Amino acid sequence: MKTIKVSVVTPDGPVYESDVEMVSTKAQSGELGILPGHIPMVAPLQIGSVRLKNGGKTEYVAVSGGLLEVRPDQVSILAQSAEVSDSIDVERALRAKERAEERLREQQRSHVDFKRAEMALQRAINRISVSEKR
């Protein structure tokens, strides 16, 4: 089976690099499945998981938005933050989820930035969800 090189990079450096048979992720325009030889494209990503399939094995990377660039022989994901499922600190993600939920509850009583709290909640839920796919 043909493979395509994938690299997931954050401002802190590379998070994932490997050759895979298929990449699946959610762009803002919808679900994308990328195989070797895919047409070149660039797409903004939603907060979600990147599924990387190779040899009957699937790996997951949690990404907090970013940009996907596809070339026929390579997929590059430039994300604000990204974590491979095995390296997610679930306790930290659960605490972040609780903090974000509390901020959203307080939003009616104060001037908490609702959008920022909502995004923090989405990131935490995504990290928890991806960590469960180990």
Q: Is the dihedral of CA 68, 122, 62, 134 positive or negative?
A: negative
Instruction: Compute the distance between CA of residue 92 and CA of residue 115 in angstroms, rounded to an integer.
Output: 21
Structure token pair of residue 6: 């994938």
pLDDT grade for 122, boundaries at 50, 70 and 90? confident
Structure token pair of residue 30: 């919808």
Superfamily of domain 4-85: F0F1 ATP synthase delta/epsilon subunit, N-terminal (2.60.15.10)
pTM of the prediction? 0.82
What's the average model confidence in pLDDT over 17-43? 94
How much is the pLDDT for 109?
Answer: 60
Q: The CATH number of 88-131 is which of 1.10.3720.10, 1.20.5.440, 3.30.465.10, 3.40.50.2300?
A: 1.20.5.440
